[in-house]
C-alpha cells in the first residue's frame, strides 16, 4: 500500500476509531482483545460484502496478511501459518491480524485513497503508518494500561514485548 495516500488521520483519531469499535462490541473494558473473532465473525456480521480468508503460503508469499478490495467487496486474507499462530495467541501474529483490521476499517471503504506519485509522504497520510497505529491502539488500549509494566501489557493484551514497549513509550511521552 506504499503507493497510496490516505486521508490524513492523527493518532488520537485512530485511537477513537479503535475505542468506538471496542465500545460497539461491548469490549471496552477488556485488556485481551479477541482479534481473530473480530475479522472472522464480527466483521462478516456487520458487512455482507466482507469476507475473511485463510490464504495458502503460495498465494501470499512474503506477505503475512493482505486486505483487498474488489468492486464493492473487501477481503482480509491472513497467511495460514500466521493464522495458526494468531489462533495460538502469539502476540506478533495477533498484531498482524489487527493491522489488517485497521486497513479494512480505515482504508478499504475509503474513496479517498489516492495513488501517490512521488514526493515525501507525510506519516499521517501513509496507510501503513495508520494501520500500524490502529494495531497498537486496538490491542493496547490507552485507557486500560496506565501504570502497567511492559511485561504485563505484553501478557495481558496478548502482544509482543516489542509492541508493548513501543506503545507504552508513546503513552509515556504523552501521545
Ligand atoms: Zn499494511
- Find the 15 Cα to ligand 1 centroid distance in Å: 17
**pLDDT of the residue at 173:** 97
- Find the 128 Cα to ligand 1 centroid distance in Å: 5
Q: 104-137, pLDDT tens digit by residue?
A: 999 987 766 666 667 777 888 899 999 999 999 9
- Find the 5 Cα to ligand 1 centroid distance in Å: 13
- Candidates 105, 59, 103, 102; CA nearest to 81 is 59
Domain with 106 in it: 4-172
- Find the 113 Cα to ligand 1 centroid distance in Å: 14
- Find the 145 Cα to ligand 1 centroid distance in Å: 25
**pLDDT of the residue at 1:** 45
- Find the 78 Cα to ligand 1 centroid distance in Å: 12
Number of independent structural domains in the chain: 1
pLDDT averaged over every residue in the chain:
93
- Find the 106 Cα to ligand 1 centroid distance in Å: 11
Cell 471496552 -> residue: 28
- Candidates 100, 102, 89, 86; CA nearest to 155 is 89
Q: In this model, does residue 40 exceed pLDDT 60?
A: yes
CA 133 to chain CA mean position, Å:
8
Amino acid at each position: 500500500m506504499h503507493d497510496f495516500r490516505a486521508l490524513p488521520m492523527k493518532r488520537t483519531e485512530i485511537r477513537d476509531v479503535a475505542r468506538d469499535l471496542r465500545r460497539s462490541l461491548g469490549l471496552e473494558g477488556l485488556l485481551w482483545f479477541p482479534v481473530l473473532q473480530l475479522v472472522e465473525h464480527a466483521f462478516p456480521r456487520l458487512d455482507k460484502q466482507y469476507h475473511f480468508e485463510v490464504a495458502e503460503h503460495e498465494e501470499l508469499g512474503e506477505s503475512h496478511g493482505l486486505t483487498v478490495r474488489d468492486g464493492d467487496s473487501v477481503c482480509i486474507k491472513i497467511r495460514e501459518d500466521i493464522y495458526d499462530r494468531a489462533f495460538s495467541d502469539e502476540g506478533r501474529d495477533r498484531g498482524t491480524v489487527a493491522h489488517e483490521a485497521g486497513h479494512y476499517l480505515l482504508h478499504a471503504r475509503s474513496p479517498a485513497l489516492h495513488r501517490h506519485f512521488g514526493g515525501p509522504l507525510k506519516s499521517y497520510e501513509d496507510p501503513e503508518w495508520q494501520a500500524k497505529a490502529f494495531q497498537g491502539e486496538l490491542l493496547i488500549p490507552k485507557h486500560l494500561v496506565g501504570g502497567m509494566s511492559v511485561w504485563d501489557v505484553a501478557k495481558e493484551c496478548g502482544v509482543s514485548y516489542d509492541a508493548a514497549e513501543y506503545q507504552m513509550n508513546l503513552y509515556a511521552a504523552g501521545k
